[in-house]
Amino acid sequence: MKGIIFITLFFISSINYSQEKMSLGVFQDARLMFLGDERGNSPGTMDLLLRLRLEGKQKKIGYFVFYLSYEHANLASTLKRYSSSFGFTFNNLSKSNKFINRFEFTPTVGYGNLNRNRNDSIDKYYNWSFCEETSFKVNEFMKISFLTQLMQRSDLKRKKSNNRRIARFSCFIGTVFNI
């Protein structure tokens, strides 16, 4: 957590020098919203992901990004995750087709702290994640986004006892607003 706070302060203090824009993304896990899951969470279960995005200067085909994220899921035992990640946004893929340039593709890698509230005790896990966000620019202030995430889930119990770590795949849909 101290590392996340340090990174946050570093990037906020460098806003005047290297940042082009900031945006806020609000996402919901699509599977939990519409289908539920095999662990007893019914359709309509809230799994909200908030992402503060700091964008670097535009380069030839895109720009670097840094994210601070908070995820809150109302599962059988509440899940909260604080994380930071970085990546690159590809947004200038065609010189002649402006419609294609309305799409953005952002692969990222991140690290975070996942907390599970079970029986009035909080279990903490450090974990990694890989994400890919595909966005469509509706206008200069708003994007519709589809986010896929592969996240280490050491908090999940396995049927067989082994030392391998579990990774879970999630799909989120949401909206990104430029601040």
The long-range contacts involving 79-82, CB below 8 angstroms and separated by at least 24 positions, are: 79/47, 79/114, 79/115, 79/116, 79/155, 80/114, 80/115, 80/117, 81/112, 81/113, 81/114, 81/115, 81/127, 82/1, 82/4, 82/112, 82/113
Q: pTM of this prediction?
A: 0.79
Tell me the fold of 2-7+38-178.
Porin (2.40.160)
Nearest in space to 108 (alpha carbons), one of 41, 55, 162, 42: 55
pLDDT in tens, the chain (179 residues): 556 565 555 555 554 445 578 999 999 988 877 876 766 676 877 889 999 999 999 999 999 999 999 999 887 777 888 999 999 999 988 888 888 889 999 999 999 988 877 666 667 778 899 999 999 999 999 999 999 999 887 666 655 555 556 778 889 999 999 98
Distance CA 81, CA 153 (A): 11
118: its two tokens: 């079970």
The string of pLDDT tens digits covering residues 114-141 is 887 766 666 777 889 999 999 999 999 9
